[in-house]
Every structure is written in structure tokens, then in C-alpha cells.
Amino acid sequence: MLTTWSFGPVGNDAAFPGLASGGEALDAVVHAATVFEDDPSIDSVGVGGLPDADGVVTLDGAIMTDPNRCGAVCFVNHFANPVQIARRVMEKTIHITLVGDGAERFAEREGFQRRELLVERAREVWMQWRTDPSAIDRDMYQGWLPPINIEELEGIDQTKRRGGPAGSHDTVGMIARDVQGRLAAACTTSGMAFKVPGRVGDSAIIGQGLYCDQEAGAAVATGTGELITGVNGAFLIVELMRRGATPEEAITETLERVRKRYKLVDEHQVAFIAADARGNWGSGALRPGFRHTFTDGGGTRVEDPGVELEE
Ligand code: SD4
């Protein structure tokens, strides 16, 4: 199992025993995603996620094993486990993506329980942001605290330290490979903190935040969604692997595309994890600060990525 960020052990360690005893990769990524989503101390997914500019927490999540086997939900704000709901969309409907009110009514019909997603700590951070955005500890949230509008983006001090620190929390993406060699990918997020209400990022869009094809491999993204969307990041990585690139080569080329095509500011970060169909895997980030969590029979390790494009 390969998971984005350094808080990966809590999900990997819960899901890996099932994988090791012959369970399906798909079950493992759903299990891990649920653990992250239910943990209120992780402020970028599920319960405890930071809200949008209006103080409302909205979640996006998706799951995928193959082009004809994927599901997603976006803009869910009364249910804590978007990846589980995405799996139901995949298994029980002819559709791939449900959003907003329709996704919530579907979840309700499927028996999911409504839950309050905004926890006190997240509400306090939001209040602080609303009162004085400059008082937010940008070091802590660097990498995913967005410039909200073009004016702010233009005003950002380009000399500030770039990228997110090792401890920063972010969207959780997971790739699992089971004993039969089947791959599955999942991605779950509360999106950018204090985003413009209605904004949906890359995480639950098939091809952008995640992609999986048993013939080629899987990739999952984290970071500033707007930079990932425009290059179809996860899809691009899988297609490069299909043509023979290693996971690290495919990630490097995709990160270079992002760097070339966007005007990057201090807050921007993009990172990917990827695995090919043969079981090779890798990770990479635009800037320092990203770490992945890898679990196999030898245990769980939180490690620096193989690629960091910028110092
Ligand atoms: C998004 N990629 O909504 C997600 C969130 C994230 O760094 O990973 N932020 O843009």
C-alpha cells in the first residue's frame, strides 16, 4: 500500500492485514480511506476537514480500478465517507459521478448516516481566517492554503519559502496492490481550505486526482488541484507508464509539465504517487515537504519521495 503524506500509517496499518491475507486491493483502499475520513485530527479529509469560505465543509472522493470501474462523489457536506459512497455509485448505478444534493440523497438511500463534519478546531481556524487571513500559520498550511483570488495571487511574496513542510496535512490518496496483482486507487479530500463555495478540485475527477488501469498502472495526486486538473495529472502518469516509463520517470515528466505551464507561487505544491502493473512504484513532488507512506510485508515506512523537482 502506498499513501500520500506522513499520516499514512494510521490507514495503511488498519487496511494492510486484510490485503496481506488475500483481500482485494479495492477493499483495502476503501478501508484505509475510511480510517482517514473518520479521524477528526486530520484536517484535510472527512470529519475535521477545514471548511470553505462560508464555513461549510464539503468533501470529494473517488475510487477506481479500471476505466470501466470507477465512481466519484463531489460536494458532499453531510456524510463523512465519500470514498464508500463513491464505491456505491460505481457498483449500484450506471453513472460515475454524483455531486451535491443528488449525491447526498443517494447516500441517504444507501443507508449512510448523516454526520456533522465541522469540528470545533476547524471552526476556530476558519474564524481566524475570516477575521485576519494573515494571522493563519501559513507555514503549517503551506501547500494547500490557497490564494483565493487573482489579486491575492498577484500579491504573494515570491521570496517566501516554498512547498509544504513534512508535517503538513493534505488530501489522502491511496494505491493498493493485492496478492493477485490487482491494483486499486482512491482519493479523498475536503479540498482547499477556505475555497470559494462550489469549488471542486482534482481529487474526485477521474483522470485528474486519480487514475487506474490494470494494464498500465495507477496514480493519485495531492496538492493544488488547479495545477493538476489542467494537465490531467493522474491520467498522464498512467499513460506514460503504459508507454514504458517507470513510475518515477512518469511523475517527473508530469511535474515538469506543471512547472512549465503554470505561474507557480509559494503556496503551490503538487505531489503524486504511482505504481505500474508490474508492481514497481514511486512518488514525487514539485517541492520539498511531501512524504509518502509505504507498507508491505516488511512493515510501514514514512519516506521522502523519490523525486523533488525544486530545492
Ligand atoms: C484539491 N487536491 O481539492 C485537492 C486538495 C489537496 O492540496 O490535495 N490540496 O485541490
Catalytic residue among 171, 224, 252, 293: 171
Q: Is the pLDDT of residue 154 over 90?
A: no
The pLDDT, as a whole number, for residue 264 is 87
* 36-45, 159-168, 246-255, range with greatest mean pLDDT: 246-255
Q: Is residue 284 within 8 Å of 292, Cβ to Cβ?
A: no
Please choose, from the candidates 44, 40, 51, the residue with its C-alpha nearest in 3D space to the C-alpha of residue 6.
44
Q: Is the pLDDT of residue 143 over 50?
A: no
Considering the four listed CATH numbers 3.60.20.30, 2.30.30.100, 3.40.50.2000, 3.20.20.10, the one that applies to the domain covering 2-308 is 3.60.20.30
37-66 mean pLDDT? 91
Please choose, from the candidates 234, 179, 237, the residue with its C-alpha nearest in 3D space to the C-alpha of residue 64.
234
Instruction: State pLDDT tens for residues 221-232.
Output: 999 999 999 999
Residue with the bigger pLDDT between 170 and 206: it is: 206
Residue type at position 225: G
The pLDDT, as a whole number, for residue 148 is 46
Q: What is the full DSSP assignment across 215-228? A: TTEEEEEEE-HHHH
Q: Measure 13 CA to ligand 1 centroid, in angstroms.
A: 24
The pLDDT, as a whole number, for residue 168 is 38
Q: Measure 195 CA to ligand 1 centroid, in angstroms.
A: 10
The pLDDT mean for the chain works out to: 89
The pLDDT, as a whole number, for residue 130 is 84
Residues in contact with ligand 1 by the CB-under-6-Å rule are 143-144, 170-171, 189, 191-192, 201-203, 222-225
3-state secondary structure of 185: strand
Indicate if 3 belongs to the active site. no
283-311 mean pLDDT? 94
In this structure, which residue's CA is closest to atom 10 in ligand 1? Answer: 225
The pLDDT, as a whole number, for residue 199 is 93
**Which residues have a Cβ under 8 Å from the Cβ of 101 and sit 6 or more positions away?**
none
The pLDDT, as a whole number, for residue 115 is 96
Q: Measure 22 CA to ligand 1 centroid, in angstroms.
A: 32
Please choose, from the candidates 275, 246, 194, 292, the residue with its C-alpha nearest in 3D space to the C-alpha of residue 25.
275
The pLDDT, as a whole number, for residue 39 is 86
Please choose, from the candidates 119, 147, 105, the residue with its C-alpha nearest in 3D space to the C-alpha of residue 268.
147
In this structure, which residue's CA is closest to atom 5 in ligand 1? Answer: 191
**Which residues have a Cβ under 8 Å from the Cβ of 22 and sit 6 or more positions away?**
178, 179
**Where does 62-119 have alpha helices with state H?**
82-92, 100-109
How much is the pTM? 0.91
Domain boundaries, the chain: 2-308
In this structure, which residue's CA is closest to atom 6 in ligand 1? Answer: 223
Question: Can you tell me which atom of ligand 1 is nearest the CA of 200?
Answer: 3
In this structure, which residue's CA is closest to atom 9 in ligand 1? Answer: 223
C-alpha cell, 287? 517541492
DSSP state of 304: -
C-alpha cell, 28? 483495502
The pLDDT, as a whole number, for residue 280 is 98
Question: Can you tell me which atom of ligand 1 is nearest the CA of 171?
Answer: 8
Banded pLDDT at 158 (limits 50, 70, 90)? very low
The DSSP element (H or E) to which 281 belongs, if any, is strand 281-285
The pLDDT, as a whole number, for residue 37 is 92
192-221 mean pLDDT? 95
Q: Is the pLDDT of residue 159 over 80?
A: no
The pLDDT, as a whole number, for residue 289 is 87
Instruction: State pLDDT tens for residues 243-271.
Output: 999 999 999 999 999 999 998 887 788 99
The pLDDT, as a whole number, for residue 131 is 84
